[in-house]
Chain A
């Protein structure tokens, strides 16, 4: 128990001490809310697509939360895992009585914690600054957030496991991350895309994170297809990771 707490606390501090990851997870999403909130506002009359009484920011905030999840649980996690393997930190852990499940639970707690912090910051700024509506189903939204974070983490672990070096993980992570956030609806509403492009984005896991969170935010309930797709991605990513993961 003491090991779990100490590892979680240390890893959380290390995450926040790294300026680039702390910025991307905590500060940058707030900037985006400030910029998009100022440009588009949150007046339902200004929205071209049918979201009832919800404004632009109400539909955009869940996408930004998906952006925070992708930043921490995919981009940062994959590089961090590959770095720990490359530098021998995992190797060093494995000659102590520390058990792998403890490492897993600690990392999950850290990534959920920083992601939730980043998401909360952007929601609070959005609500105070631009009248962002409260989520229609807050408890379901919290569950969907956990499921989404776990699912994207499994993809981060997969990349961190297959990448031969930390640099390779970072390069591949960037190459996947940027198209992902622009095509999944996290940054650009998919309603604005041409039909063929909108259809094609269904293959991306982050699209389903955006859909899941957005539907629960605006009261459309659970999107079971998106939930199922995320579960499928998670099962496949975990299965491959378990086979290819090397601790050195």
Chain B
């Protein structure tokens, strides 16, 4: 077991494996989370993200492999680890009739040296909702309460599992700001999400998990850069035409028809070649353009499936 401070590895996961009956939920997963970073774990539903972090949080015992959190084993030193981490869980609601202030006071009582709950209420914009029942909170307010609860013990490490799922875009962006604030205060953040845009905006590094395995791990920019050798152009035709020949144009890897527009993936001087070939076939596309590679594209390329079907 290594000391978290000397290595900078707040979390160290080595060859983690977890099996449920016949299903291999997590298979040979290894990653480190560094002090002070926002580390993203992304993947489609059922990819094994939640199982992986549940092993890290000490909720589940791995079948094999090693997990170290803040230099401790989260299964055998569960109580020590739980004192120093903060957690927001996916699908973990509070009782409908509990009041915001009561929930914070309750969770504060579980720790030896909790934060000042009235200061937390103010910090997370909940001071006006102190006496509101949990069930009467808006989606954004519930998420802010979950964040406040996760921070009630001044954690060195916080886990956010699908923090912004169910929020409207505005509330989502506001929540991103809050996560940046948490990191700015020195707390390491592990963010599990299925929103690529969220991972791209927030995370210092991202692990893409699919079928229980890590298929890519790098900074969002690094992941995108590794993909840039493949380009993508998109165009729309005024009326449908047979485009079977398009796949045979030099440099084209793949042609996809998406919502009436055509996306062409390939390499080399792709735009010129496709435009020329279209002209030769007597076709005049509208809005022919080159698209920027996003983390969503990286995801699609590494997992072969859409994140949001």
Contacts and interface: CB of A to CB of B under 8 A. Distances in A.
Interface of A: 2-3, 5-7, 10, 13-14, 17-18, 83-84, 87-89, 91-92, 94-99
A92 B94 contact: yes
Contacts of B109: 2-3, 5-7
Interface in B84-113: 85, 87, 89, 91-95, 97-98, 102, 105-107, 109-111
A95 B87 contact: yes
Contacts of B185: none
B82 A96 contact: yes
Interface of B: 57-59, 79, 82-83, 85, 87, 89, 91-95, 97-98, 102, 105-107, 109-111, 149
Contact of B92 (A3, A5, A13, A88): A88
Contacts of B94: 87, 89, 92
B82 A95 contact: yes
B107 A87 contact: no
A86 to B, nearest CB: 9
Q: Is the interface of B mostly helix, strand, loop or mixed?
A: loop
Given A10-B102, A14-B98, A89-B94, A97 B89 contact: no
Given A6-B106, A7-B109, A97 B83 contact: yes
Nearest to B83: A97
B93 A87 contact: yes
B266 to A, nearest CB: 46
A95 B78 CA distance: 9
B93 A89 contact: yes
B91 A98 contact: no
A14 B58 CA distance: 29
A83 B96 CA distance: 10
A2 B111 CA distance: 9
Contacts of A3: 109-110
A98 B83 CA distance: 9
Given A7-B109, A13-B102, A87-B92, A94 B59 contact: yes
Nearest to B80: A97
Contact of A97 (B59, B79, B93): B79
Nearest to A99: B79
B89 A88 contact: yes
Contacts of A6: 105-106, 109
14 contacts: A2-B109, A3-B109, A7-B109, A10-B98, A10-B105, A14-B97, A87-B93, A87-B95, A88-B93, A91-B59, A91-B89, A95-B82, A96-B107, A99-B79
A89 B95 CA distance: 7
Nearest to B149: A92
Contacts of B59: 91, 94-95
A96 B149 CA distance: 10
B159 to A, nearest CB: 8
B102 A96 contact: no
A96 B110 contact: yes
B245 to A, nearest CB: 54
A242 B111 CA distance: 27
A14 B82 contact: no
Nearest to B82: A97
B106 to A, nearest CB: 5
A91 B92 contact: yes
Instruction: Count chain A CB atoms within 10 A of each CB in B57, B93, B149 and give the residue with the most.
Output: B93
A247 to B, nearest CB: 9
Contacts of A84: 95
A95 B83 contact: no
Given A89-B92, A91-B89, A10 B106 contact: yes
B131 to A, nearest CB: 12
Nearest to A1: B109
Contacts of B97: 14, 17-18
Given A6-B109, A97-B79, A92 B92 contact: yes
